[in-house]
Amino acid sequence: MLKIDNLSVHYGGIHALQGIGFEVPDGKIVTLIGANGAGKSTTLKAIIGLVAASSGSVSWNGEDLTGMMTKDIVKKGVVLVPEGRRVFPNLTVDENLSLGAFSRTDKPVVASDRDKVFSLFPRLKERMKQKAGTLSGGEQQMLAVGRALMTRPKLLMMDEPSLGLAPLIVKMIFDIVREINKEGTTVLLIEQNAKAALEVADRGYVLETGRITLTGTGKELLADDRVRSAYLGEAG
């Protein structure tokens, strides 16, 4: 279980996260929704050690992750699919996948995981030797997810996986999120596409200007008037 307690992050004088707390229970899909600048990406970056927390703690199965280096957090099975996909454009699809498995030494299992990624995303297999920079946005997102799966995540965090993608691809990505979760991976999902996120989520948290203002199951939040007017574009 991932447990965030009173987490604060400062960027210079800006107080980006103002002491938030939430939990991601094992085997669940949890989503954090909120507008631009609410602190969603910052939360994920603080969990994985890309930005330093100014106070509070992040613990993973009872172990304190705060202050740990990103590479060590990733080795514990906490993996991030970053915003904007961040595939390595000058490397091939195959090399990108190998980087996902960079810290792993169990070669035969890595090979079978690669096959599994290819069966989830047959397009990636077709483009194995192609540079990632030549892929379409949707294919790059598939690669980013596939690359993360190569790390064998216990907790998969995804930052805006649907951003800028065609509806069909968005649906596919969410289907795969559901499938990954069914196989036992815990998912922490961040989305501006609140409807899609809440539909797959077991639990949701609403983040506003660095604070958590609302929480509930996915269904409860979908039915909540405040959520409907602020994030689902429906008259309240």
Binding footprint of other proteins on the chain (CB under 8 A): 48-50, 69-72, 74-75, 79-80, 82, 86-91, 95, 98-100, 102-103, 147, 151
Nearer to other proteins, 49 or 204 (CB): 49
> Minimum Å distance from CB 99 to other proteins?
4
Nearest to other proteins of 157, 198 (CB atom): 157
Report which secondary-structure segment, H or E, holds 157.
Answer: strand 155-159
In the complex, what is the shortest distance from the CB of residue 216 to other proteins, in angstroms, rounded to a whole number? 30
The full length of the chain comes to 236
What is the closest distance, in whole angstroms, from the C-beta atom of residue 95 to other proteins in the complex?
6
Q: Smallest distance, Å, CB 151 to other proteins?
A: 7
Phi-psi region of 188 (alpha: psi -120 to 50; beta: other; left: phi over 0): beta
Give strand pairing partners of 78.
Answer: 155
Q: Would you say 36 or 90 has its CB closer to other proteins?
A: 90
Q: Tell me, what DSSP letter sits at residue 186?
A: E
88 versus 118: smaller Cβ distance to other proteins: 88
DSSP secondary structure code for residue 92 in this structure: B
- Shortest Cβ distance from residue 144 to other proteins (Å)? 9
Distance CA 192, CA 230 (A): 11
For the record, the structure tokens of 217 come out as: 């199951």
Which residues have a Cβ under 8 Å from the Cβ of 158 and sit 6 or more positions away? 80, 81, 145, 177, 187, 188, 189, 190
Contact 161, 177 (CB under 8 A): yes
Considering beta carbons, is residue 33 or 97 the nearer one to other proteins? 97
Residue with smaller CB distance to other proteins, 17 or 74: 74
Q: Scanning the structure block, which residue is given the tokens 């920079």?
A: 133
Residues contacting residue 73 through CB under 8 Å, at least 6 positions apart = 47, 48, 49, 60, 65
Name the residue nearer to other proteins (CB basis): 18 or 70. Answer: 70
Distance between the two ends of the chain, CA-based, in angstroms?
Answer: 35
Residue 88 C-beta: closest distance to other proteins, Å: 5
In angstroms, give the least distance from the CB of 192 to other proteins: 21
